[in-house]
Chain A
């Protein structure tokens, strides 16, 4: 299967979560758009829209109804909300293949914390894709004397952090590095029935579904990785897990949300991460006229690529 066929198949797999009417509309898009589509946006009262390189284009015929949104959630959870309790609390559902359905609406609060979303108003279907070669530009800087270098990937949401991370894992694994992946949202590997749907290389172990911090500790103890990979450091517990892994001798490859490195440094959680000096370098993703650029910044210096 070539790259284009693979992307079309990913698109077709992701839209199975949509009601039949919306599936038909999505499948009527030209193949080049289906290939490049990164997200499908469903908003109550508005036509469906696709997004690529951050730009949204409406294409649906009829506006999305509240029933369409509810039906989408039903299909995505296989009509089993109880099986997705934890992730629904966090406003998303991970679909088979690593695709992610983000939910927005009226929050349901229980004892002061969000326990779910009712009266859905918007849904964002993010289509996971594997881009072999996405990490070509940064790969040389990820290995030093055959040893992986602790690296943090920084970018705003939907700019390709996970795609880059996935390809870094694959290429490092193929280069002989033993990699363990803490895949909390099942997005990196897109595992189904225990088997990763994405190619993460021959020496990669994946633990999915568990909180990153817990998974990281288990992986360090049981899989003795040379590199621990995890997506989206967002909580103090994640920082602790990263710190633990680094002090056990494993390099860490992780991602974080920020506009750029300056923005990253302003966040209290990330300042704490920088102070711990775990990461030797950061990769910034920037987007110029629809083209992604990667800048590798040695923490304390900077080099472009």
Chain B
């Protein structure tokens, strides 16, 4: 009975490891898609309404998308604090702080942080142009993430289960 219980636990734990690795890949894909949509929203607002950045960030903090809501919610809270820190700094800090929880990779976090360098500094057309570049780069990363999920996602899951089986067999 104990052996059976142990076998189930080992199999379950190893499978969970594999599945969580796959889940991370899926989460990264979701985060990338959320950020692409957020940048699209910012571009549209800049083009059509010349909305100031604090209002844009506040609107994104109310987004339906959980990842967007999380990151921009943190940013919005930071913006509300009159601590003398600049908006670019707060923008970047919010992405860095929420990176792991949101599932963003290092490369896309750097890209999004770099966007702080031009946001709010130039006229709307120039900002939209720069945002378009960031969006394109995120789009490339998204395609790579889709490919990674397709190729490695099932591999991680299978490896997890296989590792569980092997461990059980070795222990038996």
A contact residues vs B (CB 8 Å cutoff): 16, 19-21, 71, 74, 77-83, 85
Q: Which of A20, A74, A79, A85 has a CB less than 8 Å from the CB of B123?
A: A85
**Nearest CB of chain A from residue B155's CB, rounded to whole Å:** 44
B contact residues vs A (CB 8 Å cutoff): 46, 50-54, 82-84, 86-88, 119-124, 127
Given the interface pairs A78-B53, A80-B52, A82-B50, the reply to whether A19 lies near B120 with Cβ below 8 Å is no
> CB distance A74 to B86 under 8 Å?
yes
> CB distance A19 to B84 under 8 Å?
yes
Instruction: Enumerate chain A residues within 8 angstroms of B121, measured Cβ to Cβ.
Output: 79, 81
Return the chain B residue nearest A83 by Cβ.
B52
Return the chain B residue nearest A88 by Cβ.
B123
> CB distance A71 to B52 under 8 Å?
no
Instruction: Enumerate chain A residues within 8 angstroms of B46, measured Cβ to Cβ.
Output: 82
Q: Which of B83, B87, B122 has a CB less than 8 Å from the CB of A82?
A: B122
Instruction: Enumerate chain B residues within 8 angstroms of A82, measured Cβ to Cβ.
Output: 46, 50, 120, 122-124, 127
CA distance A82 to B51 in the complex (A): 8
> CB distance B54 to A80 under 8 Å?
yes
CA distance A56 to B86 in the complex (A): 30
> CB distance B82 to A79 under 8 Å?
no
Return the chain B residue nearest A80 by Cβ.
B52
Instruction: Enumerate chain A residues within 8 angstroms of B123, measured Cβ to Cβ.
Output: 81-82, 85
Q: Majority SS of interface residues in chain B? A: loop
CA distance A85 to B120 in the complex (A): 11
**Nearest CB of chain A from residue B93's CB, rounded to whole Å:** 14
CA distance A19 to B86 in the complex (A): 10
Residue of B51, B121, B127 ringed by the most chain A CB atoms within 10 A:
B121
**Nearest CB of chain A from residue B161's CB, rounded to whole Å:** 50
Q: Which of B50, B83, B84 has a CB less than 8 Å from the CB of A85?
A: B50
> CB distance A80 to B120 under 8 Å?
yes
Q: Which of B52, B83, B122 has a CB less than 8 Å from the CB of A20?
A: B83
Instruction: Enumerate chain B residues within 8 angstroms of A71, measured Cβ to Cβ.
Output: 86
Instruction: Enumerate chain B residues within 8 angstroms of A85, measured Cβ to Cβ.
Output: 50, 123-124
> CB distance A83 to B84 under 8 Å?
no
CA distance A16 to B83 in the complex (A): 11
Q: 19 new A-B pairs (CB below 8 Å) besides A74-B120, A80-B51?
A: A16-B82, A20-B82, A20-B84, A74-B86, A77-B52, A78-B52, A78-B120, A79-B53, A79-B54, A79-B86, A79-B119, A79-B121, A80-B52, A81-B120, A81-B123, A82-B46, A82-B127, A83-B51, A83-B52
Instruction: Enumerate chain A residues within 8 angstroms of B124, measured Cβ to Cβ.
Output: 82, 85
> CB distance A79 to B122 under 8 Å?
no
CA distance A77 to B52 in the complex (A): 8
Return the chain B residue nearest A16 by Cβ.
B82
> CB distance B120 to A79 under 8 Å?
yes
12 A-B contact pairs sorted by A residue (CB < 8 Å):
A19-B84, A20-B82, A74-B87, A78-B53, A79-B54, A79-B86, A79-B87, A79-B119, A81-B122, A81-B123, A82-B50, A85-B124
CA distance A101 to B123 in the complex (A): 19
**Nearest CB of chain A from residue B25's CB, rounded to whole Å:** 35
CA distance A259 to B158 in the complex (A): 86
Return the chain A residue nearest B54 by Cβ.
A78
**Nearest CB of chain B from residue A53's CB, rounded to whole Å:** 31
CA distance A21 to B82 in the complex (A): 12
CA distance A35 to B123 in the complex (A): 37
Instruction: Enumerate chain A residues within 8 angstroms of B51, measured Cβ to Cβ.
Output: 80, 83
Q: Which of B53, B82, B83 has a CB less than 8 Å from the CB of A80?
A: B53
Instruction: Enumerate chain B residues within 8 angstroms of A80, measured Cβ to Cβ.
Output: 51-54, 120
> CB distance A77 to B120 under 8 Å?
yes
Instruction: Enumerate chain A residues within 8 angstroms of B82, measured Cβ to Cβ.
Output: 16, 20
Q: Which of B50, B83, B119 has a CB less than 8 Å from the CB of A83?
A: B50
